A and B are shown apart, each in its own frame.
Chain A
Amino acid sequence: MPLLEIDRLSLAFGGLRAISELDVEVHENEIVSMIGPNGAGKSTVFNVVSGVYEPTEGDVRLGGESIVGFKPHKIARMGIARTFQSLRLFQNMTVKENVKSATYGNTKASPPESILRLPRARREEREVDALAEEVLSFFGERLAGYRWNQPAYVLSYANRRRLEIARALATRPRLLMLDEPAAGMNPKETGEITELIGRLRDELSLTILVIEHDMHVVEGISDRVIALDHGIKVTEGSFHEVANHPAVIEAYMGRDPEALAEA
């Protein structure tokens, strides 16, 4: 059974159909990339899966259970974590606090317990602290210890992307959805993020759904690629199959002028 099933999903904003009858399956421990030109509906798919939008029709299932209609925090607690294309960090909190805040749904201490520092609150705080450090250590020197107490707004663009991934990891997800993780990174950093996504799958045995424009990244990480255009799945398959598919080339490059002339 696939971990994530998107079943004949449609979403319309008034008369605009952002997604039409989309079927996607993501299997356990798989890395699937979604590509497509701007406005193809990729981020909208993320927003529906994470509960920000409710679909007009169709179903979304996590491990066989429908998650349509749940609030985003409920879906996040069920194991779907995401990052945002336009970064949405908690700017005025420290790097470490950003990561720790994402453990809210997996901890239980009530305010009175926290105030009195009762055993459960103390144990959870220790665990959360260890988890935050473990997750941040995943990024090695890039988010090294001296940064942990800096506010998020002092970080560089690339580091903010890394921190968003770290924060998403702290929710202990089964499915990780990354929205353009390599945007704004230089070639060296792009190489690092490609390697990192592979490590996330191998070392944390995560299932990962990625939106990415950088074809080197897509080629480097994907088990499977899905191409979207105008909210419709154009094609699906291995990177080379999809990259050479005429409809994908057309969506990205426009139509061949000679073919147009003939038509």
Chain B
Amino acid sequence: MTPIGVDEWVARSDERRDEGTGWRRALARADARVGWWPRLALVTVAGLIFAQVSTNVNIQTVAFNCLLYALLSMGLNIAVGWSGLLDLGYIAFFGFGAYGYAIFSSSALGSGGSGGAHLAAFESIPIVVLAAGVVGVVIGLVALRLSGDYFAIVTLFVGQAFVEIVNNVDPGTLGGVNGLFGLDPFHSFGVTLTTPLGYYYLALGVTVVVAAVLHLLDTSRTGRAWRALNDDPLAAEAMTMSVNKLKVMAFSFAAMVGAVAGTIFAAQQDNVFPTNFTANILILIYACLVLGGVGSIAGAILGGIVVTAAENMLSSPTDAAYLFYGLIIIALIVRVRPWRRLGAVVAGVIVFGYVTHAIVGAVAPVATAGSPGSPGWIGSLMNGYVIVPKNPTNFGNALYIALIVGLLAIIRLRGIRQLIAVIVTIYVAACCWESRLIVNPAITTQIMLGAILIVTMAVRPYGLLGKHRVEVL
């Protein structure tokens, strides 16, 4: 009989958390009961339903990209999430896969745009993926003599080297800066994919298969060993695990998943350029994984979908405005309690805005002479509410700084002052958005992605679906 003490109390903390009330508890219970494959089946069905109802070709392409990044972050998760290897050369294997497909399924190996290998996808993809695995082992064997930061630096070099190699080595075959184009569409067993929807189905199939494979690997002896060496390499070594070999394996498996993603990317794009595989893309993949939850397959998929979808929404002004104001409203509803306080904030924002607009308009008419940047009904709604001067650039820049100050004030202040800071900051945010941010979509996309990442990490430090991790106790 175990005596009940502090030990017991700590040990049962998870059970206590599950004792919550209402829908949360029901959800937690259901979550604990359902196995992995019904979940994956559910996600697959959702993906198929999406394909049935979507008719917009652009959205289908975005959906393909979402799955592509889901795949990429699942692969990265093997090295970073499970084995704890800060692999900054991952992008090279994405590129390796894409260029591999481009070489084997095009006229690249022929001369003057004719001839070439033109292999079917079921031939070229396995060849390329296995080759990526072998290259992964070779690079892994060299890089893994180093650990921690040193390993990261060497792999970063590998990523950079890849871009330089395809730029400069053998432009006749690899295309140099002009890249390779006119690739064969994905064709195998009499099926040729030509539509965005077709590639979406392909990406869905590959994503589901890779997710299943990785789950089965995670729960096997290899997966356990990877996670063990992430927690404590010395103890793993003392407990019969060959740490170096396991690290090379993890690096190589990550490389193979990256290469799979590369092949379908190349087939869908029907061209490849060196600029598709720069450090920017690597950072985006890391963002997917970190946002979704390092170490979790479901998190990697969700992160890939969320980041890619958000990025695409932010590049269209209408969608960007929806996302911007939508996030503010959601944040208010989630964070501001009780309802009376929420009502006060909403009323405060509306009144404060119109009053400020009226005062500024009366004092200096030129300060309100501009019109809101958002298109459509949001723009007309904001007209007469936000302050947009005739020439908004400098004003907008100043507002941007004011917005950051306002956000800091919200974090630092308490009580009624915080309430006032929230009201003023939301108004400043709206003015800043309409006068400056929406005018520069490329920069705004980056700022918003960064903001989404910061807020998510502040609310959920382990990512959307990540598990609590302990480093040292």
Contact = CB atoms under 8 A, between A and B. Distances in A.
A91 to B, nearest CB: 5
Contacts of A17: none
Given A90-B235, A91-B231, A104 B11 contact: no
Contact of B14 (A91, A150, A171): A150
Interface string B459-472: 00000000101110
Contacts of B232: 88-91
A61 B96 CA distance: 48
Interface in B6-47: 6-7, 10-11, 13-14
Contacts of A170: 239
B228 A155 contact: no
A101 B231 CA distance: 12
B411 interface: no
Contacts of B217: 111, 114-115
A101 B239 contact: yes
Contacts of B7: 155-156, 158-159
Contact of B11 (A76, A125, A155): A155
Given A72-B238, A103-B221, A104-B241, A92 B11 contact: no
B228 to A, nearest CB: 4
B240 A102 contact: yes
A104 B213 contact: no
A84 B235 contact: yes
A158 to B, nearest CB: 8
A54 to B, nearest CB: 14
Contact of B224 (A76, A104, A154): A104
A103 B6 CA distance: 32
Contacts of B253: 111
A89 B235 contact: yes
Contacts of B10: 154, 156
A52 B303 CA distance: 40
Contact of A115 (B6, B213, B471): B213
Interface residues of A, number: 52
Contacts of A117: 216
B contact residues, range? 35 or more
B225 interface: yes
Contacts of A121: 220
B61 interface: no
B27 to A, nearest CB: 19
A97 B241 contact: no
Interface stretch (A31-39, A139-147, A244-252): A139-147
Contacts of B236: 90, 101
A97 B219 CA distance: 9
A107 interface: yes
B187 interface: no
A171 B1 contact: no
B234 interface: yes
B220 A111 contact: yes
B470 to A, nearest CB: 4
Interface in B190-245: 213, 216-217, 220-225, 227-228, 230-232, 234-243
A144 B232 CA distance: 25
B422 interface: no
B2 A97 contact: no
A100 interface: yes
A216 interface: no
Contacts of A93: 224, 227-228, 231
Closest 3 CB pairs of A and B: A105-B240, A114-B220, A156-B7
Given A97-B224, A147-B11, 12 more contacts: A73-B240, A77-B240, A84-B235, A88-B238, A89-B232, A93-B224, A101-B236, A109-B221, A111-B249, A116-B216, A159-B7, A168-B239
